[in-house]
Chain A
Amino acid sequence: MTADEYINSEILDEHFRTPRNFGRIPEHDVEIIETNPTCGDTIVLDMKFKGEILVDIKYITRGCSISTAAASILSENLMGKTRDEIEHTSKEEVLANLGLKLGPARERCALISYDAAQKGIKKHFKTV
């Protein structure tokens, strides 16, 4: 990631400053708490399903711009998708949607919401 990419990323700025789907789902089906060990940031991710379809997804985080923006973008992308589609979403797609080339430490920031969502699917459908 170059200075220009980071500083001028409109996607990052837009989603960080006005994150979509921020908040909680009072009647969630599943709640996942995920922590990023490099900085201690935590996300609480709620998911609600109708059958195999994710009908609502919300989260609360106090993370950095990258983790907040990534959670925002992810929530938009996963909303309305099926369990199968979510399970087949790759880390690479999540990083590509953010549009930034990140180092390994910042990748963890970008993927904390993704990891939480994958755990949420496993927990809800009892695959673990």
Chain B
Amino acid sequence: MKFDEVREHFPIFKKLDAEKVVYLDNASTTQKPYEVINAVMDFYENHCSNVHRGVYRLGEEATEMFNHSRENIGKFIGAKDREIVFLRNTTEALNLLAYSLGSRLKEGDEIILSNSEHHSNIVPWQMLKERKKVRLKFINSRHDQPITPEDLSPLISGNTKIVSLTECSNILGNINDIKPISKIAHDAGAVMIVDGAQSVPHMPVNVKEMDCDFLAFSGHKMLGPSGIGCLYGKEESLEDLPPFMGGGEMIRTVTKENFTCEDIPIKFEAGTPNIEGAIGFSAAIDFLRNLGMSNVRNHEKDLISYTLKKEEESNIRDLISYGTRNIEKRAGIYAFNIGEIPKFDKENIISENISVKVHAIHPHDLSSLADKTYGVELRSGHHCAMPMTEDLGVSATTRASYYVYNTREDVEKLFDAISASIKRFGF
């Protein structure tokens, strides 16, 4: 499949193109192709049944389809099917790890995160900190540079038990090279966890090559349905890990006194799983594999490169953008501001005479205007990355993020919309 044919596979573009709407919030969620929609419909229309238990025909069909989906998704990232746990999303996967890995930590143990993490890779660890009195340390990286092994090394100590980092920042688009970071973590005897929510959908990812212990990612950010995601874990790491939620499916035996667990990965899948979600996710994987992940990466590299070029050419006064400008290390994510609205600092505001006027357009206003004037759909706010937003010194940013169906024309419309919004605000 070629990239100029991609849009024809997505029914929603008939409507969006007719309404002249440009969807640029793909880091948040993505549109769904016919292939995914049909796979989910086919399950409902022809194979609907629960998995793992029924020995009748429909039950066996559903189980086979579910197992195939697991195998297919595993292969996509270089993992065995036993190493893929189906969960709701990246957030649930990281919560599982904070709970199950965390159950073995003790007071004073250290977990290293970074300031560019999504809240889903911060809050579960903060909750663990409350329970176990572990210590959280943060790599405070600059917005215009990916995280390097040199950023991690000084934070490593004899107490480091977990290093949990994103492979790609959802606000900056910076791509972190995990392999050398993973080596440092492992040399210190720590577990390496990777948040792959923004990397697995957009570039070739191989868990064996990057040598992480765990990787979390979500289906809906890569053309699949919502409510289905995966946790990859090295076979021996998953086997060693205590279960997360208890209930049906995940047990082997239950007595009034006790229970024994199923083997991995079912051990971590309590309750009836999202069967149609897994099947739809697998269809999305087929779609992306057909495009080729290196081609997906190159397509997005072209779009972000064109974005930075348009930014330079546009000469828009007060336009500030964030993230590295090294295209090789930059995903298709573009966060920016028209003038910066400083972060809200109560102490300063109380003591000083604050001016009503700020020479900036608030991201909420910018994204509403971009939508109303040019149909360009952007995200505004903190993008579930408040620590990085705060380190940028701003209260919010506006973000455009691309995927396989976006075009250079979409990038041009983005800049038209920015210019129109600035005009409206009388800049």
Interface residues of A (CB under 8 A from B): 1-3, 6-7, 18-19, 22-24, 33, 38-42, 44, 60, 62-67, 106, 109
Contact = CB atoms under 8 A, between A and B. Distances in A.
Given A62-B341, A62-B358, A66-B364, A2 B372 contact: yes
Interface in B306-364: 341-342, 344, 346, 349-350, 354, 356, 358, 362-364
Nearest to B353: A23
A38 B396 CA distance: 10
B396 A41 contact: yes
A10 to B, nearest CB: 14
Pick the 8 closest A-B CB pairs, nearest first.
A3-B372, A64-B364, A64-B362, A39-B381, A42-B344, A40-B382, A64-B365, A39-B396
Interface residues of B, number: 25
B365 A39 contact: no
B164 interface: no
Contacts of B342: 62
B424 A7 contact: yes
Given A40-B382, A40-B396, A62-B358, A106 B368 contact: yes
A6 B368 contact: yes
A2 B365 CA distance: 14
A73 to B, nearest CB: 15
Contacts, number: 67
Given A6-B368, A42-B344, A62-B362, 18 more contacts: A1-B368, A1-B372, A3-B373, A7-B424, A39-B364, A39-B381, A40-B344, A40-B389, A40-B396, A42-B346, A44-B346, A44-B349, A62-B395, A64-B363, A65-B362, A106-B364, A106-B368, A109-B364
B382 A39 contact: yes
Contacts of A7: 369, 372-373, 424
B349 A6 contact: no
Contacts of B386: 40
Nearest to A43: B344
Contacts of A1: 368, 372
A60 B349 CA distance: 8
Contacts of B368: 1, 6, 106
B401 interface: no
14 contacts: A3-B372, A6-B368, A7-B372, A7-B424, A33-B346, A39-B364, A39-B395, A40-B344, A41-B344, A41-B395, A60-B354, A63-B362, A64-B362, A67-B364
Contact of A65 (B349, B356, B365, B373): B365
A67 B424 CA distance: 18
Contacts of A64: 362-365
B319 to A, nearest CB: 18
B380 interface: yes
Residue of A19, A60, A64 with most chain B CB atoms under a 10 A cut-off: A64
A63 B382 CA distance: 13
A95 to B, nearest CB: 16
Nearest to B372: A3
Contacts of B380: 39
B240 to A, nearest CB: 37
Contacts of B346: 33, 42, 44
Nearest to B396: A39
Interface in B376-394: 380-382, 386, 389
A8 to B, nearest CB: 10
A72 to B, nearest CB: 10
B350 A24 contact: yes
Given A33-B346, A62-B344, A62-B358, A40 B381 contact: yes
Contacts of A109: 364
Nearest to A72: B356
A106 B366 CA distance: 12
A102 B274 CA distance: 34
Which of A39, A41, A65 has the largest number of chain B CB atoms within 10 A? A39
Interface string B175-188: 00000000000000
Interface centre among B362, B380, B386, B389 (most CB of A within 10 A): B362
Contacts of B382: 39-40
Contacts of B381: 38-40
A24 B352 CA distance: 10
A75 to B, nearest CB: 13
